[in-house]
Structure 1
Amino acid sequence: MIPISDNFYSWKKPIITYWLIGINLAIFCWELKLDVSGQLGNFVNSWGIIPEQTNIAIANAIFYNSAAWIVVFWRLIALPLSLFVHSSFSQILGNLLFLWVFGKTVERILGQQRYLLLYLAAGVFAGMIQIFMEPKLSIPVIGANGAIASILGAYMMKFPKVKIDSILPLIIVFIPVEIPAFLYLFWWFIQQLFYGIGSLNISGGVTNLGYWGQFAGLVTGAALMRMVKR
């Protein structure tokens, strides 16, 4: 299932959604350049969340050396930065497609400032959950999956039964259909099984945000939309 549009029209331009898509694409193009030059591994290690390193830095700062808080600070800075780094063509295309279809409507409802805050805060919160759930993970965690999940959660809280114009690909035939929005809540998690397609050559390995982190983002988005509705 490929979402195309929810057919909500407004004179308000989704400026933040445009910027988020543009920044993600620009950084992915930079990743492609680094991939060719063999420097992508260092870039991802610097920008990605590495739970094991983060937990070690926090432990050292608390129990051994207060100077280690500098390392903790940098590892925490990586939480929002990691939202803009992607490991494959399928991951960035999937994330940005969902951001475009569902994000522009959520932005119009929440307003630009609350929408941007939701995107960043939910993404950071999802990363923190990942650090807590997988404290021994030694490879970078990257991708905007948690932030996009929050947008999806907010949308589903407001419009669970809205019909989404979609395309259903069957081998070489593409069938236009209308699919209830809530079904994309399930498809969002299923489609990520295919996010390894078109992977970049990242030395040392990399992983996408786990389902616990994405569930945290989903709940965050739904909770904010519920508060706004009240």
Structure 2
Amino acid sequence: MFPIRDHNPSGRTPYVTYALMAANIGVFLAYAGLFADQRALGQFFYDWALTPARLTSGEGIYTLVTSMFLHGGLLHLAGNMLFLFIFGDNMEDEMGHGGFLGFYLASGIGAALAQAVSAPFSQVPMVGASGAIAGVMGGYLLMFPRARVDVLIILVIIFRVLPVPAWLMLGVWFAIQLFSGVGADPDAGGVAYWAHSGGFFVGLLLTLPLWLRRGGPSYWRRTHGEPPHPEATYRWRPSRVPSAGRRRNR
């Protein structure tokens, strides 16, 4: 289940969201050549990724920030940028450019700390913007629980796009991260589930003051949990490529 877009247009150009996407892509391209040399890549990640054991010993504090601009591969980068593109613009619209940047970085740092606490002596480096983006998703859930999100459902050979409310898509995502984190060995590497869960929770908490300023529960009652502006509509345009009909033998 992959989100491909939401029906929640932003009212201003999300310059910070675009800048964060450009920074993540630019940093990845800068060290992409190291993937051909695992030894060099390992040293690079040791220097700039977040390793819980180093952080526990008081080293590499700066990696709380640098790690969120590194990715373990092209698909890792693409997935994170898709989520940031879908949900980031609306949170930037609500918080303002500077406020959103601070919110994003704080969510990423909180996510990294959550992963470090779950395995304080782990030697496995953690990379990725997932924790910071999880914070964006947590804030989005609080502000727009009933915004429509189009998700791509893939069941073996069946592909279908379905619009679902944000609370369902984001709630299922958070539940998967939480329960996967409980059953996973954080010292074994793989997906940083506790960073995802921690970032989501931190983002929700950091958005709480904004939600309360808008009226809290009364804001939800006024908007019914939907974006406070007309939603975007999309139409599937038919292809201009002519289709050939089946020939019939006479």
**What TM-score do you get using the length of structure 2 for normalisation?**
0.73
Structure 1 residues 93 and 188, CA, compared in 2 at 3 Å: closer, same or farther? farther
For residue 5 of structure 1, report the CA deviation from its aligned partner: 1.8
1:94 aligned residue: 79
What is the alpha-carbon root mean square deviation over aligned residues? 2.3
Structure 1 CA distance for aligned equivalents of residues 73 and 208 of structure 2: 33
1:52 aligned residue: 53
Structure 1 CA distance for aligned equivalents of residues 106 and 196 of structure 2: 13
Structure 1 segments unaligned to the other structure (5+ residues): 59-71, 193-204
Moved over 6 A (4+): none
Which structure 2 residues correspond to residues 180-219 of structure 1 after superposition, within 5 A?
180-185=165-170, 186-187=172-173, 190=176, 207-211=190-194, 213-219=195-201
Which structure 2 residues correspond to residues 32-181 of structure 1 after superposition, within 5 A?
32-38=32-38, 39-56=40-57, 58=58, 72=59, 75-181=60-166
1:223 aligned residue: 205
Structure 2 CA distance for aligned equivalents of residues 129 and 76 of structure 1: 14
- Structure number having the greater helix percentage: 1
2:13 aligned residue: 13
String of CA shifts for 1:4-48, please: whole Å, max 9, x gaps: 222222441111111111111122223321112442111111111
The amino acid across from 2:20 in the alignment is L
For residue 89 of structure 1, report the CA deviation from its aligned partner: 3.0
The amino acid across from 1:15 in the alignment is Y
Kindly indicate whether structure 1 or structure 2 has the higher relative contact order, using CA contacts under 8 Å at least 6 residues apart: 1
Structure 2 segments unaligned to the other structure (5+ residues): 179-187, 214-250
2:216 aligned residue: none
Structure 2 CA distance for aligned equivalents of residues 11 and 159 of structure 1: 15
String of CA shifts for 1:151-210, please: whole Å, max 9, x gaps: 000000011111112222344443221011112222366489xxxxxxxxxxxx964433
The amino acid across from 1:123 in the alignment is G
**What TM-score do you get using the length of structure 1 for normalisation?**
0.79
SS at match of 1:76: coil
Structure 2 CA distance for aligned equivalents of residues 55 and 16 of structure 1: 31
Structure 1 CA distance for aligned equivalents of residues 10 and 53 of structure 2: 45
Task: Confirm or deny: 8 A CA contact 2:64 2:109 kept in the other structure.
Answer: yes
Structure 1 residues 7 and 228, CA, compared in 2 at 3 Å: closer, same or farther? same
Task: Confirm or deny: 8 A CA contact 1:147 1:217 kept in the other structure.
Answer: yes
State the identity %: 32
Structure 1 CA distance for aligned equivalents of residues 72 and 174 of structure 2: 17
1:62 aligned residue: none
For residue 101 of structure 1, report the CA deviation from its aligned partner: 0.6
Task: Confirm or deny: 8 A CA contact 1:142 1:207 kept in the other structure.
Answer: no
Q: How many residues align?
A: 202
1:197 aligned residue: none
Task: Confirm or deny: 8 A CA contact 1:83 1:123 kept in the other structure.
Answer: yes
SS at match of 1:30: helix
Task: Confirm or deny: 8 A CA contact 2:115 2:198 kept in the other structure.
Answer: no
For residue 144 of structure 1, report the CA deviation from its aligned partner: 1.3
Q: Larger Cα Rg: Structure 1 or Structure 2?
A: 2
For residue 220 of structure 1, report the CA deviation from its aligned partner: 1.8
